[in-house]
């Protein structure tokens, strides 16, 4: 397999392995599937306000995540 294989998540690699008729050296995932996967991840990073209100532990974890994010990225913006 390609030397770039470590650049792809396991989901993409599995999809590529199961895709019949593909001779691509780089794993490719259907754009709609990939976008849905990214959107699911973004909901973990930026959950809706009603979800935070429903789960206090998630709200506390999110607050800590945002603090770490500001420390790492150097952003002064409050959210």
Q: How many helices (H) and strands (E) does the chain have?
A: 4, 0
Report the distance separating Cα 64 and Cα 58, nearest Å.
10
Residue 30 sits in the same domain as residue 62: no
Residue 33 sits in the same domain as residue 54: no
Buried b (16+ CB within 10 A) or exposed e, 8-31: beeebeebbeeeeeeeeeebebee
pLDDT digits (tens, 9 = 90+) for 52-73: 999 999 999 999 988 998 899 8
Domain that holds residue 35: 1-45
pLDDT digits (tens, 9 = 90+) for 16-54: 677 656 566 666 667 777 888 888 777 777 788 998 999
Is the pTM higher than 0.85? The answer reads no
Nearest to 33 by CA among 16, 52, 54, 51: 16
Domain count, the chain: 2
């Amino acid at each position: 397999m390609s030397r770039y294989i470590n650049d792809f998540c396991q989901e993409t690699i599995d999809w590529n392995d199961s895709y019949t008729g593909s001779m691509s050296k780089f794993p490719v995932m259907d754009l709609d599937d990939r976008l849905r996967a990214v959107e699911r991840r973004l909901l973990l990073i930026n959950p809706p306000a009603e979800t935070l209100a429903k789960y206090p532990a998630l709200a506390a974890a999110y607050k800590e995540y945002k603090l770490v994010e500001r420390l790492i990225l150097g952003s002064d913006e409050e959210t």
